[in-house]
Amino acid sequence: MQKKWKKSVALVLALMMVFALGACGGGDDSGNGGDSVDDVMKTAQEALSKVESMSYEMNMTMNMSAGGQSIESETVGTIQYISDPLMMSMNMSMDMGVQGSAEIQMYAEQSGDEFIMYMSPDGTNWGKQTLLDAEQLEQYNAQDSMNLYLGSINSFKEVGTEQVNGKDAVKYEGTISNEELSEVMETAGTADSLTQLGITEDQVVAMYSELGDLPVQVWIETESGLPVKYEMDMTDMMQKLMDKVVESMGEDAAGMTITMDKVFVSMSLSDFNAVSEIVIPEEAKNAQEMTLM
């Protein structure tokens, strides 16, 4: 059971990354809100598509418990991103309280037709991996992530104005439908993570169909028309998913209950077209070639 429990924790963290970073790429213009709200979202997508560089910060909170054990984690990631040619840097820290903490530094760059990723757990010891395409790096593209949510959220409604990064932004609320969620998870390869827990493909399909809708909040900056923040409360969705995971374990999980107390993801975007250079440390460039992902 201990092994299954650890895999379940890893699964939740992986799914949070999927939704925080939008691993499935951009969405479309199919929002179903009122005409004026639709226009705002379409304009935001158009404005974002013209952005060539940016910074963004993501925050992920996960509190869960099972079998007398509890995990409380706070993950913060700061990313700088240049789209063409691709260049990025990422610093990510995870605090899991008494279970410990971890930090990861990562860089990536395009070199001709190849893409090189550099990664270190401590800023000193580095590894690098040469990729033939950018597919493994697309999950870090916040433009795709934000476009996904702008194109997938239904029934947008304006709920007020707030300050984001020191500027006025209009806050909108909506939901990503169960159908859209299923497409996100299928495209992101979530099924592979679930099958590693011994769950069959048929069970995965059944899980997707019962997740319900996901509430999302988006902030659009008044001056620029750009999307500058989103938040997602994934607690209910993850509880339903973990209930199904435990159910699928059968006798291996007898008497085990996983409780998702809080699963929350937010991301804020800034420095639009203001990131002019990202410098990769020489020790990273001189690192040994290895498999990192």
Count Cβ atoms below 10 Å from residue 117 Cβ, excluding itself: 21
**How many C-alpha atoms does 88 have within 13 Å on its Cβ side?**
28
Comparing 242 with 174, the larger pLDDT belongs to 174
Determine how β-strand 288-289 pairs with β-strand 127-131: parallel
Question: How many helices (DSSP H) and strands (DSSP E) are in the chain?
Answer: 8, 12
What mean pLDDT is reported for the chain?
80
Q: Judge whether residue 161 has pLDDT over 90.
A: yes
Closest among 233, 266, 30, 270 to 150, alpha carbons compared: 30
0.85 surpassed by pTM: no
Assigned CATH for 2-287 = 2.50.20.20
Sign of CA dihedral 19, 23, 24, 26: positive
How many residues belong to the chain?
293
> What proportion of the chain, given as a percentage, has pLDDT over 70?
74
DSSP 57: E
**pLDDT confidence band for 197 (50 / 70 / 90):** low
